[in-house]
C-alpha cells in the first residue's frame, strides 16, 4: 500500500502526505452525500463528528484530532463558564493556540516544500469555534441594539456537545472551509429555516455538484500545466536579479496567477462537498421556474477575481466565507456606534487575517499592502463618481485605471504571500536594473 502511494505521489509530483490529504479531501464529497440519507437528528450529528475525526486522522494522523480538541474545548468551556465574555475569551485563546501551532510546525515552510500538516484545518476550525462563542455571547444582548447579522446568527441556547462537535467537524469542512455558522448547521440538520420542506420540494444538488467537480478538474489541470514554468524558487535565483523591470513584473504576475489556480481547485472540491450535503443551499432564485442557489458553499468567484474592477470587490470574490467572517466578527465590531468605518478598521481586519495565516513577514507585508490597495481603489472610485455623467470617456478611463491598478497591486503584493520569508520577498521586490535598461527584456518570460 505504501509503495502504491509513493508511486502515485511521484506520478503527480506531490509528496505522500499531500497525496493522502488530497484523497481524504476528495472523499469528503461521498462522505457528505451519505449524510443526506442518515436518519434522525442525533445520528446526523454523530455522523458529522465521527467522519470528520476519521478523515482528519487519515489525513494528518492522530495528533491532528488532539490539536482540534484544544480550541473546541476552550470555546465550549468559555460558553459554559463565562457566557458574558465567551466571545472575547475564545477569540484570544483560539488565536493564541493557532499561532503557537503555526510557529511550532513552521507551517508556511512545510507548505512551500510540498508538505502538509493539520494547521490549515486548524485555521478554519478556529474561526468556527470563535463565531459560535460570539453568537452565544450575543444571545444575551437586547435585539434592538444588534446589527442584522447579529440578529440572524445569535444563539439563545448553548448548543449541546454533540451538536457542537458535529458542527466543528461536519463534512470535512474544517479542511479548507467554507466557514459556516452554528445556527445554519442546526437548522440544516433539523430541516428548519430555508431547509424546511416546501411545495417546491427538496433542491437537487447534483448538477451544481457536478459543475463544481468539473471546475476543480479544470483548475488542477491549469495549475499543473503552469507551475513548472513559473516556480517560486526563481525569485531567489541569480538569473532573476539580472532581469529588467518589465520581465520581473511579468513573472510576478504569472506566479500569482499560477498559484491562484491551486486555491481554485481546493475551494471547488470543498464547494462540491458542501453542495452535495445540502448545507450549501441558500434559497430559491426569483426566476421562473425558480432554481436552487448554493451561495453558502461558494468560496471563490474565479472570473470575479481575475477581472476584478476594484480592490474593494476582492474580499467579495476571494475566500468569500472567510472574508465574510472577518467582516462580521472583526471589521464591523470595531466600528464605534454612530461613526463611519475608516482605514483603522480595514488595517486591523487585514492584520488579523495575516496573523490567522501565520507569523511570516510575507503574510504581514501582503495583507498590509492589501489594505492600502483597497483604500487606493476607494479613492479612484470616488474620483470616478465625482466626474459628471456627460464626461463619459473620462469616467470610463478612471474605471479602467482602477481595474489596472487592482490587477497590478494584487499580483505585485501577492509575492510576499507566496514566498513568505523577508529575504525572498525583498529579493522579489528589489530592482537590480533601472527601468530604462530593461527595455527589450520582456521576450523569454518564463523560460
Cell of 247: 520581465
DSSP string, 150-203: HHHH--SSPPPHHHHHHHHHGGGTTTT-----HHHHHHHHHT-GGGS--TT-PP
List Cα–Cα distances, 150 to 131, 144, 214, 244, in angstroms.
11, 11, 36, 51
Catalytic residue among 174, 296, 357, 423: 357
What CA–CA distance (Å, rounded) separates 16 from 8?
Answer: 8
In sequence order, what are the beta bridge partners of 4?
none
* Cβ neighbours for 34, distance < 8 A, ≥ 6 positions apart: 47
For the four alpha carbons of 109, 115, 119 and 122, in that order, the dihedral sign comes to positive
Cell of 439: 527595455
Q: What is the DSSP letter of 336?
A: P
What CA–CA distance (Å, rounded) separates 423 from 418?
Answer: 13
The pairs formed by 218-221 with CB atoms below 8 angstroms and a separation of 24 or more are 219/261, 219/262, 219/264, 219/265, 219/268, 219/302, 220/261, 220/265
List Cα–Cα distances, 231 to 228, 236, 240, in angstroms.
6, 10, 12
What CA–CA distance (Å, rounded) separates 299 from 322?
Answer: 8
Is residue 47 within 8 Å of 35, Cβ to Cβ? yes
Q: Is 357 a catalytic residue?
A: yes
Place of cell 454533540: 162
Is residue 188 within 8 Å of 275, Cβ to Cβ? no
C-alpha of 441 from chain center:
36
- Active-site amino acid positions: 357
Amino acid at each position: 500500500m505504501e509503495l502504491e502511494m509513493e508511486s502515485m505521489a511521484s506520478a503527480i509530483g506531490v509528496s505522500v502526505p499531500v497525496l493522502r490529504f488530497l484523497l481524504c479531501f476528495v472523499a469528503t464529497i461521498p462522505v457528505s452525500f451519505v449524510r443526506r440519507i442518515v436518519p434522525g437528528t442525533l445520528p446526523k450529528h454523530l455522523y458529522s463528528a465521527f467522519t470528520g475525526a476519521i478523515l482528519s486522522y487519515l489525513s494528518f494522523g492522530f495528533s491532528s484530532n488532539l490539536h482540534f480538541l484544544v480550541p473546541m474545548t476552550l470555546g465550549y468551556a468559555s460558553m459554559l463558564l463565562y457566557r458574558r465574555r465567551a466571545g472575547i475569551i475564545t477569540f484570544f485563546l483560539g488565536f493564541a493556540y493557532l499561532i503557537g501551532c503555526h510557529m511550532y510546525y513552521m507551517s508556511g515552510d512545510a507548505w512551500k516544500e510540498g508538505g502538509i500538516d493539520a494547521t490549515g484545518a486548524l485555521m478554519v476550525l478556529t474561526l468556527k469555534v470563535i463565531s459560535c462563542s460570539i453568537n452565544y455571547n450575543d444571545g444575551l444582548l437586547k435585539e434592538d441594539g444588534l446589527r442584522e447579522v447579529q440578529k440572524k446568527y445569535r444563539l439563545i441556547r448553548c448548543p449541546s456537545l454533540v451538536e457542537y462537535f458535529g458542527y466543528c467537524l461536519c463534512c470535512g469542512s474544517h479542511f479548507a472551509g467554507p466557514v459556516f455558522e452554528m445556527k445554519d448547521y442546526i437548522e440544516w440538520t433539523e430541516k428548519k429555516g430555508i431547509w424546511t420542506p416546501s411545495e417546491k420540494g427538496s433542491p437537487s444538488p447534483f448538477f451544481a455538484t457536478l459543475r463544481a467537480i468539473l471546475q476543480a478538474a479544470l483548475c488542477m489541470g491549469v495549475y499543473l500545466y503552469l507551475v513548472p514554468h513559473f516556480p517560486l524558487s526563481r525569485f531567489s535565483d541569480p538569473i532573476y536579479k539580472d532581469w529588467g523591470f518589465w520581465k520581473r513584473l511579468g513573472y510576478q504576475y504569472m506566479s500569482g496567477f499560477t498559484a491562484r489556480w491551486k486555491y481554485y481547485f481546493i475551494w471547488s472540491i470543498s464547494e462540491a462537498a458542501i453542495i452535495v450535503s445540502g448545507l450549501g443551499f441558500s434559497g430559491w432564485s426569483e426566476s421562473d421556474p425558480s432554481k436552487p442557489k448554493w451561495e453558502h458553499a461558494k468560496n471563490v468567484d474565479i472570473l470575479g477575481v481575475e477581472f476584478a474592477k476594484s480592490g474593494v470587490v476582492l474580499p467579495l470574490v476571494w475566500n468569500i466565507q472567510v472574508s465574510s467572517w472577518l467582516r462580521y466578527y472583526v471589521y464591523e465590531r470595531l466600528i464605534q456606534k454612530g461613526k463611519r468605518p475608516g482605514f483603522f478598521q480595514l488595517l486591523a481586519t487585514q492584520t488579523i487575517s495575516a496573523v490567522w495565516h501565520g507569523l511570516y513577514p510575507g503574510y504581514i507585508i501582503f495583507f498590509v499592502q492589501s489594505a492600502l490597495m483597497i483604500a487606493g481603489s476607494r479613492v479612484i472610485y470616488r474620483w470616478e463618481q465625482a466626474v459628471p455623467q456627460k464626461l463619459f470617456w473620462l469616467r470610463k478611463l478612471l474605471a479602467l485605471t482602477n481595474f489596472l491598478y487592482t490587477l497590478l497591486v494584487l499580483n505585485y503584493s501577492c509575492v510576499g504571500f507566496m514566498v513568505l520569508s523577508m529575504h525572498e520577498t525583498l529579493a522579489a521586490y528589489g530592482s537590480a536594473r533601472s527601468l530604462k535598461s530593461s527595455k527589450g527584456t520582456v521576450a523569454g518570460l518564463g523560460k
